[in-house]
Amino acid sequence: MEQQGIEMLNDDPAMEAVGERLGLSRRSFLQLCAAMAGTMGLPAGAEAAIAKAMATAKRPSVIWLHFQECTGCSESLLRAEHPTIEKLILDVISLDYHETLFAAAGHQAEAAREAAMKANKGQYVLVVEGAVPTKENGIYCKVGGKTAVDLVKECAQDAAAVIAIGSCASWGGMPSTPPNPTGASGVAEVLGKPVVTIPGCPPNPYNFLSTVVHYLTFKTLPAVDDKGRPKFAYSRLIHENCERRAHFDAGRFAMKFGDEGHRKGYCLYKLGCKGPETYGNCPAILFGDVGNASWPVATGHPCIGCTEKGIGFTKPIHALAELKTVRPPVGYPRIVEDQGKVSFAAAAALAAIAGATAGATARIAKNLGKGVQVEQPPVKPQSESKEEAES
């Protein structure tokens, strides 16, 4: 089936059935699969495998833990529209434990977690949202009488995959900001082994969805970088895809909030934008399914580097970013230069240059086709001494 291509699935009844479950037409569902395959950088034909897996594969059980966080990652997931959250948790995955979305509470919630872990031992996906406090034996965060350290280790022991969602779970995020009194740490550090990290404050929900769908389709997690981030989402600098990049290359920068350059959409590098040293796909896929300009830089605020360890929540917001690719040349015009106006001296110099150019062009044109050589000013030999030159 994977070899047949996405067009061969148009007449498959299973595609229509899953589309109805997700509240999408069959065509829209297949387009969604193609879009996810493209987002993850998968080869041609992978969209058919994704469609088949979403239509027929057993939904993976997901245990979702909350620790030191603001629930912004879950809130971001709630804003997903393709598919919506209720379709995601009921038709794509089986969300068996999530403290925020659960109707159950207390002992009932903990019993549901334990039952799901037992029934899906070695097959469930553990998702961790929030940093894990480690100081004072982890007393700064407890759920059901267990510390966050104990819970994450217990749940990770029999998990088929562990995903840290958000910057807090990825490396400690905002709770780990110095002096870090609770010893807030990332999941990988607590477990002592690599995990898939999807940083961001909050991360884009489609980066999480695509990671889960990759696992659902291929029974493996997507390729990651040295920080555990999926390469399909975090392999390029934000600076590379930013709509303000042309202004950076032309040397047009906003110097303060509300100035002329800021109002005209100039580059925010000099206001502390961390896009040149932060990896992420924010400008490519945006946020909230509301269309154009739905990411921080497009709305006029510098990127704070929330997807990059050692940048977000560590480096001052208005400190200049380290340019990892190119540096603006020193010859750029000043940002305060009036457009469309030149000084008298500049105009005179420009006229002199234009006159000389016109004269040279006329001499060349006059001699075109005559086989004569245009006169060139004499060139003095480099070895010629000052006395020889004067003689």
| 332 assigned to some structural domain | yes
Q: Where in the sequence is the domain holding 73, given as residue range(s)?
A: 60-205+226-234
Amino acid in the structure at residue 215:
Y
pTM over cut 0.75:
no
Q: Which two tokens stand for residue 278?
A: 């932060």
31 shares its domain with 65: no
Same domain, 303 and 316: yes
pLDDT single digits (tens) 2-52: 444 555 555 566 666 666 666 667 777 777 777 777 666 666 667 777 776
Q: Hey, what long-range contacts does 246-253 have (CB within 8 A, 24 or more apart)? A: 248/328, 249/328, 250/332, 251/328, 251/329, 251/332, 251/333, 251/335, 252/335, 253/335
Cα of 6 vs its chain's centroid, Å: 27
- 346 plus 243 within the same structural domain: yes
Distance CA(152)–CA(142), nearest Å, equals 11
Tokens 């939904």 label which residue? 59
| pLDDT, tens digit (0-9, with 9 covering 90-100), for 188-215 | 999 999 999 999 999 988 898 888 888 8
CATH number at residue 297: 4.10.480.10
- Helix 46-56 vs helix 26-39: crossing angle, to nearest 10: 120
Tally of structural domains, the chain: 3
Q: Which of these, 74, 64, 130, lies nearest to 94 by C-alpha position?
A: 64
Task: Count CB-CB contacts under 10 A for residue 356.
Answer: 10
**Residue 101 domain flag:** yes
Which residue did the predictor score with more confidence, 16 or 97?
97
In whole angstroms, give the CA distance from residue 217 to residue 214. Answer: 5
Q: Are residues 13 and 142 in the same domain?
A: no
Q: Are the beta carbons of 126 and 196 closer than 8 angstroms?
A: no
Judged by DSSP in three states, 169 sits in: helix
pLDDT in tens, 262-318: 999 999 999 999 999 999 999 988 887 777 778 999 999 999 999 999 999 999 988
The answer to whether residues 259 and 280 belong to one domain is yes
Q: 46-56 vs 205-218: helix axis angle to the nearest 10?
A: 80
Q: Is the residue at 385 inside a domain? A: no
Domain-located, residue 142: yes
Residues 190 and 71 in one domain: yes
Q: Are residues 42 and 125 in the same domain?
A: no
Tell which residue, 292, 281, 275, 303, has the closest CA to residue 41: 281
Q: For 245, phi and psi rounded to 5 degrees?
A: -60, -35
